[in-house]
Amino acid sequence: MAATSRGTTPVPPDARPRLTVLSGPSGVGKSTVVAHMRKVHPEVWLSVSATTRKPRPGEKHGVHYFFVTDEEMDKLIANGELLEWAEFAGNRYGTPRRAVLDRLESGEPVLLEIDLQGARLVRESMPEAQLVFLAPPSWDELVRRLTGRGTEAPEVIERRLAAAKVELAAEAEFDTTLVNTSVEDVARELLALVKVL
């Protein structure tokens, strides 16, 4: 296998890695799989979202999120600088477009871990993106994961389960499905899909 330059020379279009989007129902383990994969393969670039919510203890600007004001988010949206954005619990989240395109242009594999709504928006703006659906081993297992924390009110759990049914029904919209039976196995399968081998 020939060595590749890490300079600024663009990679030929046919050799360029595609953007890979990982999505799936809440509670399926997306963050756990991505964290495991990046621990073993830190060269896979995970896009950092912009958000209007305040940082939680230990979160760093530019590492966990780009923390922006409502006015800054308005400008990002108005100027078309986000690949996708959505609102959750009164805060907005979005994927900065330029950083993703720059990494792809330089030949680096790029991974987005976003919700179903975001995945659909990415498909609209970048039809060549590879959409990967992370599925639970079974509905019962997903219910166990969503209810297992024991920290949420029954009505919140009901809402999350209803949303999970909708998210599971969207599986056919994705290019590939990975079943999360083992974090290590799924991380390895995801890596094979993300990387240009």
User: Binding site for ATP: what residues are annotated?
Assistant: 24-31
Q: Write out the two tokens for 5.
A: 């330059």
Annotated binding-site residues read 24-31
Backbone phi and psi for residue 154, each to the nearest 5 degrees, phi listed first: -55, -40
User: How far apart, in Å, do the first and last CA atoms of the chain sit?
Assistant: 10
Going by C-alpha positions, the residue among 163, 160, 156 that lies closest to residue 116 is: 163
Q: Write out the two tokens for 38.
A: 């990046």
Coil, strand or helix at 51: strand
Rounded to whole angstroms, the Cα distance separating 24 from 40 reads 22
Q: What distance lies between CA 62 and its chain's CA centroid?
A: 16
